[in-house]
Amino acid sequence: MSIPKLSLYELHEKFTAGEVTATEIVRAYGLRIGQVEPKVKAYITQTKDAAVAQATALDASLKGWRKTLPMMGMPLAIKDNICTEGVLTTCASRMLGNFVPPYDATVIARLRAQGYLLIGKTNLDEFAMGSSTENSSVGPSRNPWNLQCVPGGSSGGSAAAVAADECVAALGSDTGGSIRQPAAFCGVVGLKPTYGRVSRYGLIAFASSLDQIGPITKDVRDAAFLLGAIAGHDPLDSTSADVPVPDYLKALKKKDLKKLKVGVPVEFFAEGLDAEVEQAVRAAIEQLKALGGEIKEIRLPRTDAAVAVYYVIATAEASSNLARYDGVKFGLRAKETKDLLDLYMKTRQEGFGPEVKRRIMLGTYVLSAGYYDAYYGKAQAVRTLIRQDFEAAFQEVDLIVTPVTPTPAFKFGAKSDDPLQMYLSDIFTISANLAGVPAISVPCGFSQTGLPIGLQLIGRPFEEETLLRAAYAYEQSTQWRAKKPAVR
């Protein structure tokens, strides 16, 4: 039995049955990380040693008593913008290069209460701003399917770690596609829950009205399993929803799409969509039909406004959220400054990378006197129209199916000099954040050059069960997950 090849759910079952100990699990993952991490560079901080100690204690406490909790003994990787008490949390920024959170994010507190093992903190684009991990202060992660290609972003380290079997599952965060796009690029499953489904307490804020934490996993069942472990109301996050958490694993029982109406929005199959991606997604739609889904063409007419709306709202919120990095309470402080204003200016000059500065500038501009109504107000109003598009669509259908990305993973440097081109590559994922609805990325094929392609399913608010049911039925009826990246 090769432990790192097992899914989260399989490993959980073996651990619960006493067939494998936490110590064996951590040792196996330690070896695997040792082998492939120099090539993949998924992690900013590895916490193997602490995990070994935790595992030893866990095994001792379980002796002769195997009643386990869902995530007990499971080695998870956590995106480095989620606070872990006592463990460096950098956001891949020089600004937080030495930041050790004095508290746990709520998702971490929940996992810790179940006895999970933190195996490491994964790489990202600085403050989750980017689509490739090229904006990380410690350098990019690499795509396990092709080390010359980006793993996607911003949760690129988490997706690469899952794809390369360097953890059993991971958490990412998704503001405009940052879970789904890297999941698609790395051939794994990524779920962005409904806004409010998972607490954001302790997630270092980028754009507060869009950010959500979610699972990145080896298969759909794992996504359901991990979502169940982190979802639910949290009094510490006023935007977390007080909606009961169903048993997501139960939702997988049906294994078909009978009585489900599946909408195909014509706007997502337009110019700029790579032919191989289109072919794979169209074939997947046929498969959804074969599984009993009723396929229906629909319209989301304001789709082409999504990128513009997003880059106004997300940067406006970011410019406000990132005002806290002032060199006073935590993080970097510039040396040799002449007064307080100079300290702010120089600290922020030294601490932030180019993309973060660009977005703070854009956000400050659209919020500044004279431009607020023309840009920010306008974007918020068009956001309402985009939500209305989804509300209207979900009157007609239960699910919407689209590509995740216009192309498979691109090469390093391909878009890093042209921010607008990079932003436009998020076109298929950002609408779900603007509308607050849940969406999942599941593998649906490969390009001729062997790069994974992702299928996106979008659902109604708080109907993750429908998403998971359809994604699982699709996944189980195909063989894409059997193929593994060649990195070793």
Q: Of the two residues 63 and 336, which places its CB atom closer to other proteins in the complex?
A: 336
Minimum CB–partner distance for residue 382 and other proteins (Å): 5
Q: Of the two residues 64 and 102, which places its CB atom closer to other proteins in the complex?
A: 102
2 is catalytic: no
Query: Which residue is associated with the tokens 């499953």?
Result: 189
Q: Of the two residues 1 and 381, which places its CB atom closer to other proteins in the complex?
A: 381
Minimum CB–partner distance for residue 210 and other proteins (Å): 9
Please give the Cα distance from 170 to 51 (Å, whole number). Answer: 15
Q: How many angstroms from the chain centroid is the CA of residue 163?
A: 13
199 is catalytic: no
378 is catalytic: no
If residue 341 lies in a helix (H) or strand (E), which one and from where to where? helix 340-351
Alpha helices, DSSP H, located in 231-274: none
Q: Of the two residues 14 and 359, which places its CB atom closer to other proteins in the complex?
A: 359
Q: Of the two residues 356 and 468, which places its CB atom closer to other proteins in the complex?
A: 356
Main-chain dihedrals φ then ψ at residue 69, nearest 5 degrees: -95, 160
Q: Is 180 helix (H, G, I), strand (E, B) or coil?
A: helix
Minimum CB–partner distance for residue 269 and other proteins (Å): 20
First CA to last CA across the chain, in angstroms? 17
Torsion of CA 311, 405, 158, 225, to 10 degrees: 110
Q: Of the two residues 147 and 334, which places its CB atom closer to other proteins in the complex?
A: 334
Please give the Cα distance from 245 to 227 (Å, whole number). Answer: 9
Q: Is 335 helix (H, G, I), strand (E, B) or coil?
A: coil
| Among 209, 129, 173, 200, residue whose Cα is nearest residue 380 | 209
Please give the Cα distance from 76 to 167 (Å, whole number). Answer: 6
**Catalytic residue (one of 178, 319, 416, 447):** 178
CB atoms within 10 A of CB 417: 8
Minimum CB–partner distance for residue 313 and other proteins (Å): 9
For residue 373, give both structure tokens. 């109504």
Instruction: Tell me the torsion sign for CA atoms 181, 183, 185, 187.
Output: negative
- List of E strands, 253-302: 261-265, 294-298
Please give the Cα distance from 231 to 435 (Å, whole number). Answer: 19
**Catalytic residue (one of 14, 41, 48, 79):** 79
- Report helix angle 8-16 to 220-230, nearest 10: 70
Q: Of the two residues 112 and 357, which places its CB atom closer to other proteins in the complex?
A: 357
**Catalytic residue (one of 131, 132, 141, 154):** 154
For residue 369, give both structure tokens. 């006197």
Minimum CB–partner distance for residue 365 and other proteins (Å): 5
Alpha helices, DSSP H, located in 124-274: 156-163, 180-186, 220-230
Cβ contacts of 112 within 8 Å, gap of 6 or more: 104
Q: Which residues lie near other proteins (CB under 8 A)?
A: 98-100, 102-103, 195-196, 209, 235, 238-239, 241, 302, 304-305, 307-309, 311-312, 319, 323, 326-333, 337, 339-341, 343-346, 348-349, 352, 354, 357-358, 360-362, 364-366, 368, 375, 377-385, 387, 419-420, 423, 434-436, 461
Residue 410 corresponds to which amino acid? F
Minimum CB–partner distance for residue 226 and other proteins (Å): 23
Q: Is 81 helix (H, G, I), strand (E, B) or coil?
A: coil
Cβ contacts of 179 within 8 Å, gap of 6 or more: 155, 158, 172, 173, 190, 191, 192, 214, 215, 216, 441
Q: Of the two residues 171 and 366, which places its CB atom closer to other proteins in the complex?
A: 366
Please give the Cα distance from 212 to 178 (Å, whole number). Answer: 10
Minimum CB–partner distance for residue 322 and other proteins (Å): 9
Minimum CB–partner distance for residue 214 and other proteins (Å): 16
Task: Tell me the β-bridge partners of 456.
Answer: 402, 441
Minimum CB–partner distance for residue 97 and other proteins (Å): 11
Report the catalytic residues.
79, 154, 178
